[in-house]
Structure 1
Amino acid sequence: MALKEDDLLVGAALRQKWEVPGPWTDQLLPFRDKYLMATLMSKAGVAVPEFAMVHDEPAVLAFADRVGWPVIVKPTLASSSAGVARRRVAGRTRGNGRRSVVEDDVQVSGAVRLR
């Protein structure tokens, strides 16, 4: 039993290792990996903001220059909105008040503009 969303993939890996019934890692990844989820939704015809996998801060800036500011930076496997930041301009965030620093693979997407 997973007590937190982060435990789902651990449980899936254990089920797979011991061949226990229930979802295995490949079946849960589309629900946990934000980039994979957005990719599958886009392929299925669901409208999603433009997105990309990036590996460093210059790639975030290049994406934002291409699609426009603000952008949303999301760790691919975090939960409870941990590490999600709205980047309004280079070096500033809105939301958690901390500057987002890309230290691992993250998904970056264009912000949805509500009317």
Structure 2
Amino acid sequence: MAACAAGARAKNGVVIGIRPNDSKDGACPDLSATIVTNMGEARNAIIVWSADAVISVGGSWGTLSEVALAMRRGQVPVVALGGWRVVQADGELVPGLRYVDTAEAAVAEALHSARST
């Protein structure tokens, strides 16, 4: 996530960090603003409901919960960069979840899909 923040900041983007704990300690220095929630993984709902698009990076359990919440919300593009491949009971990929291999492709897909909705 630090690389994502650095890349967005390098392109003059606004980078908001939503922290799970009760402190800004350890927050990425490239954040434009930091929101401290002290909500643990429950902050994932805040992230998903505040997003214009969701790009998941990697495959921790918290990431999977963000993907699930975003897919259930159904109003924003959801792009997976590495990590989880979510399948239906029949083994087919869940429709609507876009899979990409590079950060550039993830951003391009999210922007394209957000403009289309």
TM-score when normalising by structure 1: 0.27
Instruction: Report which structure shows greater RCO (CA 8 Å, sep ≥6).
Output: 1
TM-score when normalising by structure 2: 0.27
